[in-house]
Structure 1
Amino acid sequence: MASAEQRKSNGENKVKLADIAKQTGYSPATVSKALNGKADISEAARQAIDKALKDNGYIRRVSLSRKQRTIEVVFRDFETIWALEVLRGIITEAKPHNINVMVAESGDRQHPDSSWVEGIIDRQPIGAILVFSNLTDKERSMFQSHGIPFVVFDPSGNPALDDLSVQADNWMGGVIATRHLLELGHKRIGIITGPDEMLCSRARLDGYSAALAERNIPTSPELITEGDFTTPGGYEGAMALLEDEQSRPTAIFAGNDLQAMGVYEAARQLKIRIPEDLSIIGFDDIQTAAYMGPALTTVRQPLQDMAATAARMVIDTNEGRKIQKRVVLSTSLVVRDSTRRLKSRD
């Protein structure tokens, strides 16, 4: 009987599901599910079956006819200008390589169930870019066991040690935004964050607090309100900060440009002039930021460069090149017309 090593060298896949089932104690149906990347089995079962397959010299093969020259991009929410910026960067990098880009939407849940991974495995792209959250151990194992590389774009938490990831320097972006307002003489600076569970949101808030601390200005809880990175969330946060005329801030740092749009609308309704009465700074520098009235001062997060980098990481990994696993790109200040030096109040 040929050894496992001989079977590997001969490229043979003569292992029977019944044999693996007998060795592992799992049913042939469970072995089949593990082999085909199905989600409805335990992680312990998946690992045991994968080990038995490997020990018996089984080699997973994807036929060339099935392997698609496609990168799959999974968004939580695709109906934003931010998402279009990301997609544009991915397409720009993929097109010269004759690679198509497929878009999927996982919905509003931060941790959708693992069935979406099954769909990707069935479609057999050369890789996936995941724009919504970190992976669960189960999802990670499903990708790895089927040889599909993935990159986590702007991860919501600290990525796992072996995960490929791309993000901006959100902490420094928060520092840059707040320093700009401080240099204009503002001390009562409100901030509308993103969701607290998202790493980028916490990092921007920490940068805000660090910049205030540089000037010995304490962080005031009443000047901090949590948003959700949407325009309605920015509007609601701004109304909470601005409703009391006596205690309202003289400047607001919006956690992203979409929230800044909501701040503009709140200011309009309250008859607060921008920037004469209220300075506003955003984060991202999406294309519409320059066309707001007045043009929005913001922190540029190089979304298209980040997206192109993520696509390049997928391509290079697929082609066997050695790559840096974690990439952090710099943020920078873009000064426009929505911020100005604070004038003393009568």
Structure 2
Amino acid sequence: MTETNPEPRGGRRPRGTVTVAAIARLAGVSPPTVSKVLNGRSGIAVDTRERVEALLREHGYRRTDGTSALPIVEVAFSGLESHLAVEIMRGVEEVVRDRGLTVGFTDLQGHAPRAGRRTADLLLARRPAGVIAVHSAYRGQYYQQLTASGVPLVVVDPTGEPVHDTPSVGTTNWSGGIAAARHLLDLGHRRIAVITGPAQFMCSRARLEAARAALETAGVALDPGLVRSGRFGFDDGAALGAELLARRDRPTAILCGNDLQALGVCDAARRAGLRVPGDLSVVGFDDLEVARWCGPPLTTVRQPFAEMGRAAAGMVLRLAAGQPVEPSRVELATSLVLRESTAPPA
């Protein structure tokens, strides 16, 4: 096959039609080197890899050579969300098994890039039929790298606004935050604290601002001194909860960014000699399986993780079949689950 120049006479080549050989000439490398980048192979210098990737992005390269993919849909997590893995993967598996595919699990945390390779190279080297990236496993450059290599990508609840036209599945974080705050207000709480997740996460911002809006609508201002931000984990919930409960004007209720934080707050209350819900009401977010087992069982906002997995699987399979995905953003409903960790203030 004869390769043509990347910029034909009369102007630039339309995006997506540039060839591997043309990219190689622009980068000053061989076509096999470009193929190595597209396949996530090792043995390429960092600056060379970055130069090739920049040209792939600039020219909108999309692989169309029919490279065979393995019958696997990879679900990529990043440690932080491993407690969500079972439900999400169960939903994915329910959809892909009918197509003769299997589900692979990738925990990207702890896979430090080496020899000039990036995290997405781990996925490319496995040649999956598609990739579903969950929460913080997603980064903007994954979209560019995977798409250029012809691997369909769908994001589940991205922590920031999706770039380009990356299809994504999320939940109604705003509605969930509103429901949780209104529940505490209806119980009679007015001194309500909020512990949210990392400020750079879209879901954290949505839940915090939803709680603020619900309180302001009820004529209750959210005290800035009762707002804390931390990682979505038990330890941060315990530490931040202890800070709030040590205040002279301590809150009567705490809204948490997720269930792990909420369990940490419950532990902090116990250590402070306070009863949940007698002295402190606690609300979580997620509805992990453990939420119904703790003492007392946790009031929380349910995210439909299995349903999210099913929706993402359907989208990635349509992309793999060359079909358009509309709408490209799907948001599933959250719901408030009432248990025994909330009660009227003493």
Both proteins in one fold, TM over 0.5: yes
**TM-score, scaled relative to structure 2:** 0.84
Instruction: Report the equivalent of 2:343.
Output: 340
Deviations 1:164-215, CA, capped at 9 Å, x for gaps = 1111111111111001000100000011111111110111001010001101
Equivalence for 2:260: 258
Q: Which amino acid aligns with 1:82?
A: L
Shift of the alpha carbon at 1:97?
2.7
Instruction: Give the aligned length.
Output: 322
AA in 2 matched with 1:325: S
| 2:159 partner letter | S
> Which one-letter code corresponds to 1:45 in the other structure?
L
**Residue of structure 2 equivalent to 1:61:** 66
Deviations 1:54-73 (A, max 9, x none): 8xxx952313xxx2111111
SS of residue matched to 1:126: strand
Alignment of 1:98-137 (within 5 A): 98-107=100-109, 115-133=118-136, 136-137=139-140
- Distance in 1 (alpha carbons) for counterparts of 2:302 and 2:27: 55
SS of the aligned residue for 1:73 comes to: strand
**1:135 Cα deviation after fit:** 5.0
Alignment partners' CA distance in 2, 1:72 and 1:281 = 33
Q: Structure 1 residue aligned with 2:307, among 305, 308, 318?
A: 305
Please give the root-mean-square deviation of Cα atoms over the aligned residues, in Å: 2.9
Instruction: Measure, in 2, the Cα distance between the counterparts of 1:82 and 1:16.
Output: 39
C-alpha distance in 2 between matches for 1:2 and 1:255: 57
Partner of 1:87: 89
The letter for the 1-side match of 2:65 is R
TM-aligned CA distance change 1:32 to 1:317, over 3 Å: closer
In structure 1, stretches of 5+ residues that fail to align are 5-14
Determine if the alignment matches structure 1 residue 45 to structure 2 residue 55: yes
**1:188 match:** 191
Distance 2:345 2:64 in 1: 67
For the residues of structure 1 that align with 2:330 and 2:317, how far apart are their CA atoms? 15
Deviation at 1:32, TM superposition (A): 4.3
How far apart in 2 are the matches of 1:165 and 1:213?
A: 31
Report how far residue 150 of structure 1 moved.
Answer: 0.6
SS of corresponding position for 1:190: strand
Q: Secondary structure at the match of 2:189?
A: coil
Residues 41 and 215 (structure 1 numbering): CA distance in 2 closer, same or farther, change over 3 Å? same
C-alpha contact (below 8 Å) 2:108/2:137 kept by paired residues: no
Identity over aligned residues, as a percent?
39
Secondary structure in structure 2 of the residue aligned to 1:333: strand
Counterpart-to-counterpart distance in 1, 2:109 and 2:55? 28
Mapped partners of 1:255, 1:108: distance in 2: 25
SS at match of 2:310: helix
Match of 2:280 in 1: 278
- Give the distance between the partners of 2:250 and 2:173, measured in 1 at CA: 26
Aligned residue type for 2:278: E
Q: Cα offset for 1:275? A: 0.8
Quote the offset at 1:45 in angstroms.
2.6
- 1:211 paired to 2:221: no
Residue equivalent to 2:178: 175
Structure 2 unaligned residues grouped into runs of 5+:
5-18
- Does residue 153 of structure 1 match 2:156? yes
Letter of the structure 2 residue corresponding to residue 153 of structure 1: V
Q: Which residue of 1 aligns with 2:14?
A: none
* 8 Å CA contact 1:37, 1:142 repeated in 2: no
Change (3 A) 1:3 1:272: closer
| CA positional deviation for 1:229 | 0.8
Name the aligned partner's letter for residue 211 of structure 2: Y
Is the Cα contact below 8 Å between 1:185 and 1:341 reproduced in 2? yes
How high is the TM-score relative to the length of structure 1? 0.84
Out of 237, 243, 252, the position equivalent to 1:234 is 237
Aligned counterparts of 1:35 and 1:294: Cα–Cα separation in 2: 51
Q: Deviations over 1:249-287 (max 9, x none)?
A: 000111111111111111111111111111111111111
Match of 2:201 in 1: 198
Letter of the structure 1 residue corresponding to residue 330 of structure 2: V
Runs of 4+ residues over 6 Å off in structure 1: 1-4, 111-114
Whole-angstrom CA distance in 2 between matches of 1:207 and 1:101: 35
Tell me by how many angstroms 1:25 deviates.
5.7
Q: Quote the offset at 1:126 in angstroms.
A: 0.9
Q: CA–CA distance in 1 between the matches of 2:130 and 2:206?
A: 28
